[in-house]
């Protein structure tokens, strides 16, 4: 679980930056070189390279070492992994709330109105 959380953390913090999110969004359309990626931003090429390194460390993008242009490629499966983590969490919450659905159906409708600012009447100490 530690390694999973670490990777998830890197992905999320890499995506916490709006410029990096924008770069990722553009890479979903097609691979691009560093120069192409840098074009729309009013920042240095070095700054763009730094953003790319963060994305690379998170496993979100890769660059082919052999090719002359070294185009940046989006690693879509990392997104799948992230989606899978959230989906598992979601499914767990859904199971919890289905238990709550069942419980709510068994509760009677006539609940004494609660006076504002007061806790509900005590039901006896929990065992």
Partner 1 sequence: MTMTTAHETEVTADPNVPLIRIVREFDAPVAKLYRAHTDPELLVQWQGPRSIQTRVERWDCRTGGSWRYVATQGDEEYGFYGSFHEVRPGEQIVQTFTFEGVPDGVALEKLAFEDLGGGRTRLVATSLCDSFEGRDAFLASGMEAGVNEGYSKLDELLSRI
Q: Which is nearer to partner 1, 18 or 46 (CB)?
A: 18
Distance of alpha carbon 11 from the chain centroid:
7
Site membership for partner 1, residue 66 (CB under 8 A): no
For the chain, the C-alpha Rg in angstroms (whole number) is: 24
Distance CA 36, CA 43 (A): 13
Beta pairing partners, 62: 73
Which window, 41-49, 63-71, 72-80, 88-96, contacts partner 1 (CB under 8 A)?
88-96
Site residues for partner 1, window 16-55 (CB under 8 A)? 16, 21
Choices 30-38, 52-60, 61-69, 109-117; region in contact with partner 1 by CB under 8 A: 109-117
Torsion sign across C-alpha atoms 92, 96, 97, 101: positive
Piece of 25-33, 53-61, 66-74, 101-109 that binds partner 1 (CB under 8 A): 101-109
């Amino acid at each position: 679980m530690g390694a999973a959380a670490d990777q998830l953390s890197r992905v999320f913090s890499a995506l916490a930056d709006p410029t990096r999110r924008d770069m990722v969004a553009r890479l979903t359309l097609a691979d691009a070189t560093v120069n192409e990626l840098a074009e729309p931003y009013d920042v240095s090429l070095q700054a763009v390279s730094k953003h790319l390194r963060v994305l690379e460390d998170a496993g979100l993008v890769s660059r082919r070492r052999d090719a002359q242009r070294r185009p940046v490629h989006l690693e879509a499966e990392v997104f799948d992994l992230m989606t899978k983590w959230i989906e598992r969490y979601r499914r767990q919450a859904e199971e919890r709330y289905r238990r709550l659905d069942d419980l709510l159906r068994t509760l009677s409708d006539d609940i004494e109105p609660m006076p504002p600012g007061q806790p509900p009447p005590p039901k006896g100490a929990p065992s």
